Amino acid sequence: MLHFSSLDLASPILDAVTREGYDTPTPIQAQAIPPILAGRDMLGCAQTGTGKTAAFALPILHHLHTAPTDTTRRGPAVARALILSPTRELATQIADSFDTYGRGLGLRTAVIFGGVKQTPQVRRLRAGVDIIVATPGRLMDLMDQGYVDLRGVTHFVLDEADRMLDMGFIQPIRRIGAALPTQRQTLLFSATMPPNISRLADSLLRDPARIAVTPVASAAPKIAQSLYMVDNQHKLALLQKLLDDRTVERALVFTRTKHGADNLSRKLSRSGVAADSIHGNKSQAQRQRALEAFRSGRARVLVATDVAARGLDVDAISHVFNYNLPNEPEAYVHRIGRTGRAGALGIAISFCDREERGFLRAIEQLVGARMTAEGGGDDRRSGGGARVEEGGRTESGVAPRRRQRRNPNANGRPKSATRSRSSHGSGGGAPAGGGSRKPGKGVARPQRSRGGGAGRPSRG
């Protein structure tokens, strides 16, 4: 198996990777790092959670570290790498990754995004930076005010390009691209490859290496999706009720946090459901044991966080439950892609507390359809004043709109999802559980719809 040490990265970078506990490159890293190290442009079809950040950060850091320095230059450092990201959260994560992987290299990173005062960002830029991670809008603002010098940029990355275009950033991207030297390496990553991304790629990239991982959306049409609007405190009772149904042969249950995963698996076990949990805080041996129990059927339920579940290769998962909705909508598609594999019909059931409605909207936007909860549970249109009760159920059979726009350049073979060690488990917190109220009638087994056509929800 390929190891990081075979990737020709500078030793301080390899040390940082080891410190992070990474043993082997994820599929996108194995595919992307060699051509990026060789100086090629890249068009990558990949989602967050695949190890994508390290896939571009490690070789860029290597280039910046090993590039000959101009000893005649005076004054603050001039940015040599620019990474554009759609959101401040992602920009912050990327900048943190550069800091982590680049520790000991003496490179300076600035993260630039809107919604906050610009003064500290300007100060940081003035002091000199090697790497800028930015959202397009604020960066353009600062460019217009003359605070950003991009003439020294040798590495340009567009991350989550499809989301940037969805957010209306096409003009800023074009303007920023035009302000960069033409002699540069450009990397574009996108979860989907619709025509507008292909056009953007054609205008920015030169003879790019093309890679693709995890076209998860392709699994979706064989998945019957249901939604329950349910308060956090009633989720446990609802899940237990649904698990009473013995057609739930092997269920993967997603929580947002590691703590939530442990908590839920403990409560299920106590109530007599054979359950285990898997997340980034568990040792490799513990994870292996949990996985084995799940594979063999000794554990009927595996409670997992997103990242821990990503490399899971377990056949015949009959049900995926979203106990907490993911805050990244792409994760929803990843999650439900775990069921219904290899031609089998899968069932995905999501629980949505009122606090999670924003996540639900983002998911609906991504899959291109509204998921309605029947049974009066969904009061989103009424301004959300009423309490959300459990029991609403809908058959969505959502056919993700975006699956039509898969990477046109891949060799046609879907690549498997990647295995990641750590969990994104932050914020949110698991529901208290232990709900005393019994779920209503509406919680019976969802009907199944095949082919993503039947029961298609109305658009909102």
Q: Which stretch binds ligand AMP (CB under 6 A): 47-55, 144-152, 154-162, 226-234?
A: 47-55
DSSP per residue, 128-149? --SEEEE-HHHHHHHHHTT---
Long-range CB pairs of 377-385, under 8 A, 24+ apart, other chains included: 377/228, 377/229, 377/230, 377/442, 378/227, 378/229, 379/229, 381/460, 384/354, 384/357
CB-nearer residue toward ligand AMP: 426 or 447: 426
- Among residues 421, 445, 448, 456, the one that binds ligand AMP under rule CB under 6 A: 421
177 binds ligand AMP (CB under 6 A): no
Measured CA to CA, the distance from residue 388 to residue 369 in angstroms comes to 21
Q: How far is the CB of 51 from ligand AMP (least distance, A)?
A: 3
Nearer to ligand AMP (CB atom), residue 307 or residue 443 = 307
Write phi, then psi, for 228 (nearest 5 degrees). -120, 130
At its nearest, how many Å lie between ligand AMP and the CB of residue 355?
24
Interaction of residue 26 with ligand AMP, rule CB under 6 A: yes
- Residue 420 in the binding site for ligand AMP (CB under 6 A): yes
Burial class (CB in 10 A: 0-12, 13-18, 19+), 387: exposed
Q: Judge contact between 185 and 40, C-beta under 8 A.
A: yes
- The residue from 31, 43, 45, 52 that contacts ligand AMP (CB under 6 A) is 52
CB of 26 to ligand AMP, least distance (A): 5
- Please state the closest distance from residue 136 (CB atom) to ligand AMP, in A: 20
Query: What is the 3-state composition of the chain as percent helix, strand, coil, each rounded to the nearest 5?
Result: 40, 15, 50
- Could you say which of 27, 29, 33, 184 contacts ligand AMP (CB under 6 A)? 29
Residue 157 found at the interface with ligand AMP (CB under 6 A): no
Per-residue burial over 388-400, b = 16 or more CB atoms within 10 Å of its CB, e = otherwise: bbbbbbbbbbbbb
Q: How near is the Cβ of 105 to ligand AMP at its closest, in Å?
A: 18
Among 118, 196, 271, 422, interactor with ligand AMP by CB under 6 A: 422
CA dist 12 and 142 (Å) reads: 33
Alpha-carbon distance of 296 to 207, in angstroms, equals 47
Q: Which is nearer to ligand AMP, 250 or 256 (CB)?
A: 256
Can residue 257 be called a binding residue for ligand AMP (CB under 6 A)?
no
**Signed CA dihedral, 14, 17, 19, 21: sign only:** negative
| Amino acid (1-letter code) at residue 325 | L
Dihedral Cα 214, 215, 219, 221, nearest 10 deg: 160
**Which residue, among 132, 86, 126, has the nearest Cα to 111 in the 3D structure?**
132
**Distance separating alpha carbons of residues 187 and 83, to the nearest angstrom:** 9
Nearer to ligand AMP, 327 or 420 (CB): 420
Interface with ligand AMP, residue 22, by CB under 6 A: yes
- Indicate which single residue of 31, 48, 240, 263 sits in contact with ligand AMP (rule: CB under 6 A): 48
Nearer to ligand AMP by Cβ, of 96 and 355: the residue is 96
Kindly state the smallest distance separating residue 53's Cβ from ligand AMP, in Å: 3
Q: Is 307 in the site for ligand AMP (CB under 6 A)?
A: yes
Q: Could you tell me the smallest distance in angstroms from the CB atom of residue 423 to ligand AMP? A: 7
Site string for ligand AMP, 53-82 (x = CB under 6 A): xx----------------------------
Whether the Cβ atoms of residue 295 and residue 323 lie closer than 8 Å to each other: no
Q: Give how far Cα 158 sits from Cα of 44, 81, 82, 207, 381, Å.
A: 10, 11, 9, 16, 35
Strands 275-278 and 81-84: unpaired
From 23-31, 141-149, 346-354, 369-377, span contacting ligand AMP (CB under 6 A): 23-31
Question: Which of these segments, 253-261, 294-302, 381-389, 418-426, binds ligand AMP (CB under 6 A)?
Answer: 418-426
Residue with tokens 């620019």: 82
408: Cβ contacts below 8 Å, ≥ 6 apart: 193, 198
Find the residue with minimal CB distance to ligand AMP: 53
**CB-nearer residue toward ligand AMP: 96 or 149:** 96
Shortest Å distance, C-beta 24 to ligand AMP:
6
Tell me the site size for ligand AMP, rule CB under 6 A: 15
CB 17 → ligand AMP: shortest distance, Å?
Answer: 7
Toward ligand AMP, which CB reaches closer, 26 or 185? 26
Q: Identify residues 287-306 at the interface with ligand AMP (CB under 6 A).
A: none
- Pick the closest to residue 229 from 400, 375, 430 (CA basis): 375
Interface residue with ligand AMP among 14, 45, 50, 213 (CB under 6 A) is 50
Question: Exposure of 458 by Cβ count < 10 A (0-12 exposed, 13-18 middle, 19+ buried)?
Answer: exposed
Q: By CB under 6 A, tell whether 85 contacts ligand AMP.
A: no
Residue 49 binding ligand AMP, by CB under 6 A: yes
Contact residues: ligand AMP, CB under 6 A: 22, 25-26, 29, 48-54, 307, 420-422
